[in-house]
Amino acid sequence: MDKKVQILIKEYKKHAEKNGFRLNPNKEIVENLIKALIKNEEEFGKKYCPCRKIHRDEIVCPCIYHKDEIKKQKHCHCFLFVGKNFGG
């Protein structure tokens, strides 16, 4: 696994734990989303969430919507972050 991917996974895992949720337990989904974030950062200069249209700065990942989405539907829009009880 790419070093950038590993670093970002570690950062987002800490963010999730600090905020009462977790990364999706499906490692393939997480890795693919992280790769897309890195690609968007290389292309657009920011880690734009791959599940949002790129047109405003507030959609960088983690976007401003993810906490509300997790409370409402037990996961964020792209399924990078999930609630503690997601899937079980």
Compute the average pLDDT of residues 46-55: 74
Give pLDDT tens digits for 57-74: 566 677 777 888 889 999
Domain boundaries, the chain: 3-83
Q: Spell out the alpha helix ranges (H) of 1-88.
A: 3-18, 27-44, 66-73
The overall average pLDDT reported for the chain is 86
Give pLDDT tens digits for 13-28: 999 999 999 999 999 9
- SS3 assignment, position 7: helix
Q: Does a cis peptide bond (omega within 30 degrees of 0) precede residue 50?
A: no
Find how far residue 24's CA is from the centre of its chain.
Answer: 9
Topology annotation, domain 3-83: Ferredoxin Thioredoxin Reductase (3.90.460)
What number of residues does the chain have?
88
Reported pTM:
0.84
Q: Between 38 and 86, name the one with better pLDDT.
A: 38
